[in-house]
Structure formats: structure tokens, C-alpha cells
């Protein structure tokens, strides 16, 4: 896993932890949802008012 960047902003949820660019955080809603797609392993990221991405891939780095 790469070292954290000075612009990284950690996001914690009940089940997952994410890192996003601090400058991009203003574009996201407070509540986001990650839903599996039929074409797994891709997911879609959406909020109450918009879709942010429909081909999100996750990388398990445990």
C-alpha cells in the first residue's frame, strides 16, 4: 500500500475505510452508497442526488 499523501483525507464507515483527495471531498455528498453491480467485481458509487461512478473497482490490500 502506498504511503499516505499530504492531500489524502481518510474516510471511515462502519465496514470500510477509504482515502480520497482532500480537494475532491467538496464534490461528494455526506452520505454515499456503494452497491455491487451484476458485472462484479465492479461497483457503483452514488448518493441521494447523483451517481458518482458505475465501474468502481475495489482492491483488497489486506
- As a whole number of angstroms, the longest Cα–Cα distance in the chain is 36
Q: With 70 as the cut, is the pLDDT of residue 1 above it? A: no
Give the residue, 1 or 57, on which the prediction is more confident. Answer: 57
Count CB neighbours of 8 within 10 A. Answer: 14
Q: pLDDT per residue over 4-57, tens digit each?
A: 788 999 888 888 788 888 999 888 898 888 898 776 778 898 999 999 988 887
Per-residue b or e along 9-29, where b marks 16 or more CB atoms closer than 10 Å to that residue's CB: eeeeeeeeeeeeeeeeeeeee
Report pLDDT for 51.
Answer: 94
Distance CA 61, CA 35 (A): 20
Amino acid at each position: 500500500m502506498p504511503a499516505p499523501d499530504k492531500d489524502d483525507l481518510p474516510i471511515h464507515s462502519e465496514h470500510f475505510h477509504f482515502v480520497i483527495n482532500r480537494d475532491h471531498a467538496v464534490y461528494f455528498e455526506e452520505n454515499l452508497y456503494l452497491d455491487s453491480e451484476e458485472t462484479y467485481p465492479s461497483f457503483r458509487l452514488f448518493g441521494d442526488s447523483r451517481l458518482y461512478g458505475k465501474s468502481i473497482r475495489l482492491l483488497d490490500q489486506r
